[in-house]
Structure 1
């Protein structure tokens, strides 16, 4: 068969690869992946003029029925959903996937659109002469096909038994990722029963978030094919370790890294120190952006490696901002891991928030606070206070109030996106915030998956 030329219509190129339909996804401010599909013959229309979508897509809530309204999220009006043809990936069974972006009817940007927010921040970094790469980690928990917990027999954290017991799932996950062109660095069993984690190859910010959407799609399809379902909840089981969605950030200027090779503490450059300093300074304001769901604050507990302390430190897994050093064993170089991000959050929004804070820190030469060189949980309250280390709140409403009042975060992300985040998470707090952790875990175990 003769290959279809690269300049041919998208529909022809996809049909040449036996694609029958195309799914386009968006990741809304409440962490929900929403989608529309078209037959392959309409792929070009999906990319060029888009499909209609109500502004309420930004407000759809995690109970899969409610809508969080704002002044601009209502039943009035219509937007266009356009896929990015450059990011399209062909899966199996005649399916192709692409990330989508919201546009106004006349083609303008939509402030509540998560992917648009990250595109804007990536452009601002480039304008400042900076380049960023983001590496995503994602934890998830396997369950039986009917959603019931799998038995714990034979399971141990990080064990070979965990791989062998789910060898079919792991094998198919790698195969499906290869077919779709998804670069997985590693997959391993995690701490909680039937919990796994995978790491993706670092990429530019938007491409990395796109890849994470594709990864979640592939994980769910492979789970279904192997007789499982999967939970991306921050707390699938109230008594077990939660799921994180850590992001690793590196910054360079003219090819030179900012988080290593400098003459500051731990080899930081002045700009690298300021980038970290601003993230730490704003981490309390950003908590409801990075981990704002009704289950997120249950996960946010000291002693669980959730990064519950507002501080930074070298290889310190108990602080919100962990510096990973450049060493011979880390050929990709130094990076900063933001640990409080969880899977209930749109990765586009989380990356946009962290990178915008880093850029702001560099622009304003934000000072770097003292390093937390040991577990802040081992300190007394007085010692933490003297070191300037706060414990992040476990009260969702308090985190939302702090975000709502933050002029700094509103300046970084824009009022309309912040309003959408606050409205959606307050809907959760108002309707479900009084449930106990066990009921919350049961109610929303599959809210961010299937």
Structure 2
């Protein structure tokens, strides 16, 4: 980072101080997401924002080796007590937090002390991949679906402070459940609107106490930022209403779990390449190649998109989780669900939804993996297999093989092996980051070795 750029960052921050102070802001939250998918944070008083923008805020690189329980993997390139990084806030995304009065929020890029992007900064990696698409005249629109459960707050004297007691009793997707959270949902939607988040839908979901919000599509970096902001806002508003929140992929061992589905569409100028073409369901050739890349690299992508041992308690057949490497039109059991949108709006609405992922994922890391996979498909001119119009889990193994349908990894260990042998993903991430991902995942595997499904769910329940 050049000195003039540092000076420009400081000036930009100073120009924002008056408006922030008028809005009642006294401090700025500076979050990033670690390899395990946990959002970590530092914050500065408002008066220190210009210095933070210019020189960054110090933070140890040790967090790249953190596990979900805050233990640390002493890996090949992460987990050391030596060294320091600088957290530089992205002022373009500076947001006054409606759910946390007195605070603003700005996601950070992590740099070395010499002003070079940290080799394991997932946000910087994602931006580089987006720039790679732009160099080829392509852009993407992306969005994360956010699922979470609300539980009753822990009270003094409760025998089990980690227990989950659903705060909703109405039926799945039911109006009764919506009424039960009417005031809470109103305050949440208002907070998100005040923060500039474009919400498309809110509704009760399937699992006990489960809700979902869908947001508008943005460029991939902004989509990952928004996912982070929405989750923080959900937590803050929930706390105001005396509720506990979990985004865990498996809140209870016998429950459905929280997904983290990703929607993507590929564009050239104003043309949506997922529609208007000669391919199946109107895919253009580039749209098909991009989608085929996603499908081909899904096994390895699970190491970043389903990164927890608990993820594989959720990723099971016939639970709408996308447990098979297959694609299909509006098929919620296929890992890649093709969405045309309504007649008359398909030129803008058509997209693919990748369903196998969950909210334990680092959203920047996952989006980067998806873009790398899609780009590999584009460069190879990849083609899709025949779409699947049924639940693959209802077929016998012989029928699945005949149809070219393969099950996705059924454990984190399998996903890590697939990731390490996927040259597209490991090359895109680089040696240091790819090695750290594998080592952190193996650290979690060792952490939960021999632990029952119920105990795994309990251990991660309030971590995500």
Question: How far apart, CA to CA, are the structure 1 residues paired with 2:329 and 2:254?
Answer: 29
SS of the residue corresponding to residue 182 of structure 1 reads: coil
Deviation at 1:6, TM superposition (A): 7.7
Structure 2 residue 324 is the aligned partner of structure 1 residue 309: yes
- Cα 1:151–1:108 change in 2 (3 A) is closer
Question: How far apart, CA to CA, are the structure 1 residues paired with 2:153 and 2:62?
Answer: 31
Question: How far apart, CA to CA, are the structure 1 residues paired with 2:169 and 2:367?
Answer: 37
SS of the residue corresponding to residue 9 of structure 1 reads: helix
Deviation at 1:329, TM superposition (A): 7.0
Contact 1:64 1:447 in 2 (8 A): no
Q: What does residue range 240-389 of structure 1 map to in structure 2 within 5 Å?
A: 240-328=255-343, 330=345, 332-389=348-405
Question: How far apart, CA to CA, are the structure 1 residues paired with 2:277 and 2:166?
Answer: 50
Deviation at 1:412, TM superposition (A): 2.4
Deviation at 1:224, TM superposition (A): 0.4
Q: What does residue range 130-169 of structure 1 map to in structure 2 within 5 Å?
A: 130-146=138-154, 148-151=163-166, 154-169=169-184
Question: How far apart, CA to CA, are the structure 2 residues paired with 1:182 and 1:151?
Answer: 27
Structure 2 residue 18 is the aligned partner of structure 1 residue 12: yes
Structure 2 residue 105 is the aligned partner of structure 1 residue 78: no
Between stretches 242-251 and 74-83, larger displacement belongs to 74-83
Structure 2 residue 413 is the aligned partner of structure 1 residue 397: yes
Q: What does residue range 33-182 of structure 1 map to in structure 2 within 5 Å?
A: 33-67=39-73, 69-92=75-98, 93-146=101-154, 148-151=163-166, 154-182=169-197
Deviation at 1:10, TM superposition (A): 3.2
Choose the corresponding residue for 2:246, options 226, 231, 243. Answer: 231
Contact 1:49 1:82 in 2 (8 A): yes
Which 5+ residue runs of structure 2 have no aligned equivalent? 1-10, 155-161
Question: How far apart, CA to CA, are the structure 2 residues paired with 1:131 and 1:414?
Answer: 23
Question: How far apart, CA to CA, are the structure 2 residues paired with 1:404 and 1:152?
Answer: 41
Deviation at 1:67, TM superposition (A): 3.8
Contact 1:30 1:346 in 2 (8 A): yes
Question: How far apart, CA to CA, are the structure 1 residues paired with 2:380 and 2:124?
Answer: 25
Question: How far apart, CA to CA, are the structure 2 residues paired with 1:67 and 1:304?
Answer: 33
Contact 1:10 1:43 in 2 (8 A): no
Deviation at 1:152, TM superposition (A): 7.6
Question: How far apart, CA to CA, are the structure 1 residues paired with 2:253 and 2:48?
Answer: 44
> TM-score scaled by structure 1?
0.95
Structure 2 residue 209 is the aligned partner of structure 1 residue 194: yes
Between stretches 280-289 and 244-253, larger displacement belongs to 280-289
Between stretches 390-399 and 341-350, larger displacement belongs to 390-399
Question: How far apart, CA to CA, are the structure 2 residues paired with 1:230 and 1:77?
Answer: 34
Deviation at 1:326, TM superposition (A): 3.8
Deviation at 1:72, TM superposition (A): 4.4
RMSD value, Cα: 1.7
Question: How far apart, CA to CA, are the structure 1 residues paired with 2:168 and 2:332?
Answer: 28
